[in-house]
Amino acid sequence: MTADNTPASNETTVLEVDGLCVEFSMRGKQVPVLSDVSFNIDHGRTVAIVGESGCGKSMTALAVMRLIPSPPGRISSGKILFKGENLIEVSERRIREVRGRDISMIFQEPMTSLNPVYTIGDQIAETIKRHQAGSAASVRQQVLDLLRLVQIPAPERRISEYPHQLSGGMRQRVMIAIALACEPALLIADEPTTALDVTVQAQIFDLLKDIQAKRGTSLILITHDFGVVAELADRVVVMYAGRKIEEGTVEQVINDPRHPYTRGLLRCMPEIKLDPVLAAEPLAEIPGTVPDLLRQSKGCSFAPRCPSVTAKCIEMPPMVQLGEQRSARCWLAHEPAATAE
Ligand X SMILES: Nc1ncnc2c1ncn2[C@@H]1O[C@H](COP(=O)(O)OP(=O)(O)OP(=O)(O)O)[C@@H](O)[C@H]1O
Contacts of 108 (CB under 8 A, 6+ apart): 190, 191, 192, 194, 195
Cis peptide before 318 (omega within 30 of 0): no
CB atoms inside a 10 Å sphere around CB 291: 19
Rounded CA separation 84/122 (Å): 34
Among positions 35, 45, 54, 123, the unique one binding ligand X when judged by CB under 6 A:
54
Which 64-83 residues touch ligand X, going by CB under 6 A? 69, 72
Binding part of the chain for ligand X, among 36-44, 50-58, 79-87, 195-203 by CB under 6 A, reads 50-58
Among positions 9, 53, 91, 112, the unique one binding ligand X when judged by CB under 6 A:
53
Q: Which of ligand X, Mg ion, none has residue 294 at its interface (CB below 5 to 8 Å by kind)?
A: none
User: For the purposes of burial, counting CB atoms within 10 Å of the CB of 309, is it exposed (0-12), middle (13-18) or buried (19 or more)?
Assistant: middle
Local structure of 325: helix, strand or coil: coil
Binding part of the chain for ligand X, among 51-59, 90-98, 118-126, 145-153 by CB under 6 A, reads 51-59
Residue 225 or residue 234: which is nearer to ligand X going by CB?
Answer: 225
Which 168-227 residues touch ligand X, going by CB under 6 A? 224
Q: How far is the CB of 58 from ligand X (least distance, A)?
A: 3
DSSP 84: T
Q: Does residue 293 touch ligand X according to CB under 6 A?
A: yes
Rounded CA separation 109/172 (Å): 8
Q: Does residue 116 touch ligand X according to CB under 6 A?
A: no
Q: How far is the CB of 175 from Mg ion (least distance, A)?
A: 16
Which positions lie near ligand X, rule CB under 6 A? 24, 26, 33, 51, 53-59, 69, 72, 224, 293
